[in-house]
Amino acid sequence: MLPTPDRGMRGSSVLVSPRDLRERYAAYRLAQASGLVRLLPQDAIRPLYRRAREAMGPGDAEDPLSLLVRYCERILPLPPFDVWREDLALNPEAHLEDLDRSAAAPTAGAPSTLEVRELRHAGRPWRAKLRSFRDQGVWRGFIAFESEPGISAHRTTTIFCESDLSELRDRFRSFSSATLEAFLRSALP
């Protein structure tokens, strides 16, 4: 796991798995490409779509928007993963603002992991993930618990509702280990 600086708590760090970082990076790239498509004037869409079909093949002809977004993702000069990860570690607040302003913000069906904390329960290590999404102008979130990466998570119901994404993250950070363990116990079958 990679430590990323946590500017909200002195001297501490938050551990984020490489898989979580890769998911966030993929979401970032998709949001940037979707943003570009939304900015294009209507008369530029059709020629760009033709170029996308030529470059990427007709495999996604049934979903032209998806093909166009993936093509834009390919042609945009986005930073490579290592540069993006370093920027995330140095400027976490800017990444939260970017996510908050994005029209392609996470949804209830595809929430984003904002923060990961570790805890122990019954002698085993667990990871508590703050999963969030935008819903009707506010940010909502829940905690998903994993005993091992890739193992199905146990989750709470939606327990966070904040107008600001950093406030939602700060509330999650304010929970003590005992509080996180209590949430875990409530989520276990």
pLDDT of 4 > 70? The answer is: no
pLDDT bucket at 13, cuts 50 / 70 / 90: very low
Strand partners, 110: 107
Query: In angstroms, rounded to a whole number, what is the distance separating the alpha carbons of residues 63 and 166?
Result: 35
CA distances from 12 to 139, 172, 184 (A): 25, 15, 22
Q: How confident is the model over 111-141, as pLDDT tens digits?
A: 888 888 989 998 889 989 999 998 888 999 9
- Which pLDDT belongs to residue 164? 87
Instruction: Tell me the pLDDT tens digit for each residue of 19-62.
Output: 778 877 887 888 888 888 888 888 988 899 889 888 887 665 56
* Strand duo 124-135 + 138-146: pairing: antiparallel
Tallying the residues shown for the chain, one arrives at 189
pLDDT of residue 9: 30
pLDDT higher than threshold 80 for residue 166: yes
- Strand-pair partners of 14: 4
| pTM > 0.75: yes or no | no
Q: Which of 98, 66, 72, 71 is nearest to 84 (CA)?
A: 98
pLDDT bin (cut points 50, 70, 90) of residue 179 is: very high
160 has pLDDT over 90: yes
